[in-house]
């Protein structure tokens, strides 16, 4: 069975009818006879999320996994046979600069620990390939700006793995806000949390993670507040709670509660934690009613409702849609409904910097 049909099997006929306009390049994705350009992607960092992305890419129409970059030779061999990757498209962290001489790879998807994103994306840009980078784009705004500058100088695109920007129920609430159906959004609540395990993992190592739960999952609420309210915040306040100082060392936040103020008078109130399970909720309140997503940012199905009832959009595999959409952005200049470029990610990093400062000083931080 071809990949297009596989993809169509993941969704029902009704979602095709309902959701076509919600994807910027949906006509191409759902077009039986798509024979346009295909983005040939190498994945860097063959860990847990990379495996999820690789599996999801098997049903992409516009993007194809063709290469790997890894520090672990046994993973390279396993991926070669699982995903049919030619030896000539396999690299390690020392020699991946040679990718510049490989005409069979268009883009590299960096899925390594956060603290390595800057170095890895800048290496990809230097090799003249488009970069897709996982969230958070970097560990602070300064590093993020360096990455944007490097990609601009190399004339390559930089996109960030904001998969929720292509999720149908999320997009439906954004549509309701933009159309005026919801009225003015005045309140957003974002809750993100899970209990993190192994204390030796890179997520609890400041150099590799850049922080704790905020970098990893709090970023969803920051980003979500911006696209649900439709404005950029102008101030931040934050309070940190740390109960386990052994596990969550200096610079690794366990729990942060933060508030964002928006120019039109809306506020966001959010919690990010590595110590509570099953916390994944967005709640939007507006002049005309409410919208809720719970779970809001997991791999799905995302569940949503408004004061008028359930949001009935069937589940799509986030990473499949994301990669097809990103191929359209890179190869065909398509414009996503919510941006996924480096500038969009930099806005989140600036807010994270301010949240850390606010939590440390106890002060209200001006973002203007």
Interface with ligand NDP includes 315 (CB under 6 A)? no
Rounded Cα distance between 368 and 365, Å, is: 9
Rounded Cα distance between 258 and 355, Å, is: 7
Interface with ligand NDP includes 32 (CB under 6 A)? no
Stretch that binds ligand NDP, among 4-12, 32-40, 47-55, 248-256 (CB under 6 A): 47-55
Rank residues 111 and 321 by Cβ distance to ligand NDP and give the closer one. 111
Contact 230, 185 (CB under 8 A): yes
Selecting among 91, 162, 220, 313, the annotated active-site residue is 220
162 is catalytic: no
Interface with ligand NDP includes 202 (CB under 6 A)? yes
Rounded Cα distance between 8 and 4, Å, is: 6
Q: Which residues contact 111 (CB under 8 A, 6 or more apart)?
A: 43, 44, 45, 47, 49, 50, 53, 134, 161
Strand ranges for the chain from DSSP E: 39-44, 63-69, 90-91, 107-110, 130-133, 158-160, 185-193, 235-241, 255-261, 267-273, 279-286, 289-293, 304-306, 309-310, 365-366
186: three-class secondary structure by DSSP: strand
Rank residues 266 and 330 by Cβ distance to ligand NDP and give the closer one. 330
Site string for ligand NDP, 252-291 (x = CB under 6 A): ----------------------------------------
User: What does the DSSP 8-state code read for residue 195?
Assistant: -
CB of 99 to ligand NDP, least distance (A): 15
Rank residues 113 and 168 by Cβ distance to ligand NDP and give the closer one. 113
Rounded Cα distance between 54 and 66, Å, is: 10
User: Which residue is closest to ligand NDP by CB?
Assistant: 47
130: three-class secondary structure by DSSP: strand
CB of 266 to ligand NDP, least distance (A): 26
Interface with ligand NDP includes 161 (CB under 6 A)? yes
CB of 222 to ligand NDP, least distance (A): 14
Rank residues 113 and 123 by Cβ distance to ligand NDP and give the closer one. 113
Number of residues counted as binding ligand NDP (CB under 6 A):
22
93 is catalytic: no
Q: Which of 72, 244, 278, 308 binds ligand NDP (CB under 6 A)?
A: 72
Interface with ligand NDP includes 163 (CB under 6 A)? yes
Rank residues 138 and 185 by Cβ distance to ligand NDP and give the closer one. 138
CB of 114 to ligand NDP, least distance (A): 5
Q: Which residues contact 367 (CB under 8 A, 6 or more apart)?
A: 232, 233, 234, 235, 236, 350, 351, 354
Tell me the two tokens of residue 262.
Answer: 């928006």
Selecting among 62, 135, 347, 350, the annotated active-site residue is 135
Rounded Cα distance between 258 and 123, Å, is: 34
Residue numbers 88-147 binding ligand NDP by CB under 6 A? 111-114, 116, 134-135
Do strands 90-91 and 63-69 pair parallel, antiparallel, or not at all (unpaired)?
parallel
Rank residues 129 and 318 by Cβ distance to ligand NDP and give the closer one. 318
CB of 120 to ligand NDP, least distance (A): 8
CB of 348 to ligand NDP, least distance (A): 12
| CA-CA-CA-CA torsion sign (233, 222, 145, 171) | negative
Rank residues 59 and 297 by Cβ distance to ligand NDP and give the closer one. 297
| CA-CA-CA-CA torsion sign (339, 340, 343, 345) | positive
Contact 191, 300 (CB under 8 A): no
Interface with ligand NDP includes 75 (CB under 6 A)? yes
Q: Which of 32, 48, 81, 84 binds ligand NDP (CB under 6 A)?
A: 48
- Interacting residues toward ligand NDP by CB under 6 A: 45-50, 70-72, 75, 111-114, 116, 134-135, 161, 163, 202, 208, 216
Catalytic residue IDs: 135, 220
């Amino acid at each position: 069975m071809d990949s297009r049909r596989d993809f169509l099997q993941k969704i029902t006929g009704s979602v095709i009818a309902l959701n076509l306009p919600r994807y910027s390049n949906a006509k191409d994705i759902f077009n039986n006879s798509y024979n346009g350009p295909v983005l040939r992607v190498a994945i860097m960092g063959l860990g847990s999320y990379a495996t999820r992305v690789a599996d999801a890419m098997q049903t992409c129409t516009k993007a194809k996994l063709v290469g790997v970059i890894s520090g672990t030779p046994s993973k390279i061999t396993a991926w070669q046979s699982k995903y049919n990757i030619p030896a000539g498209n396999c690299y390690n962290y020392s020699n991946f600069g040679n990718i510049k001489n490989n005409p069979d790879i268009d883009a590299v998807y960096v899925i390594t620990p956060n603290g390595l994103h800057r170095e890895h994306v800048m290496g990809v840009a230097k090799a003249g390939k488009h970069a897709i980078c996982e969230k958070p784009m970097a560990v602070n705004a300064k590093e993020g700006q360096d990455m944007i500058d490097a990609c601009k100088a190399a004339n390559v695109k930089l996109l960030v793995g904001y998969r929720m920007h292509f999720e149908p129920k999320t997009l439906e609430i954004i549509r309701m806000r933009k159309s005026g159906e919801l009225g003015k959004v005045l309140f957003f609540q974002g809750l993100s949390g899970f209990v993190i395990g192994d204390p030796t993992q890179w997520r609890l190592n400041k150099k590799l993670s850049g922080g704790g739960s905020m970098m990893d999952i709090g970023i969803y609420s920051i980003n979500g507040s911006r696209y649900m309210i439709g404005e950029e915040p102008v101030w931040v306040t934050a309070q940190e709670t740390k109960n386990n100082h052994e596990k969550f060392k200096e610079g690794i936040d366990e729990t942060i509660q933060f508030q964002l103020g928006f120019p039109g008078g809306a506020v966001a109130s959010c919690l990010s934690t590595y110590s509570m399970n099953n916390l994944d909720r967005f709640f939007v309140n507006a002049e005309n009613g409410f919208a809720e997503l719970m779970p809001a940012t997991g791999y799905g199905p995302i569940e949503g409702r408004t004061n008028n009832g359930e949001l009935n959009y069937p589940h799509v595999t986030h990473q499949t849609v994301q990669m097809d959409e990103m191929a359209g952005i890179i190869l065909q200049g398509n414009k996503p409904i919510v941006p996924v470029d480096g500038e969009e990610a930099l806005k989140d990093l600036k807010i994270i910097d301010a949240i850390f400062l606010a939590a440390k000083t106890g002060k209200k931080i001006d973002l203007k």
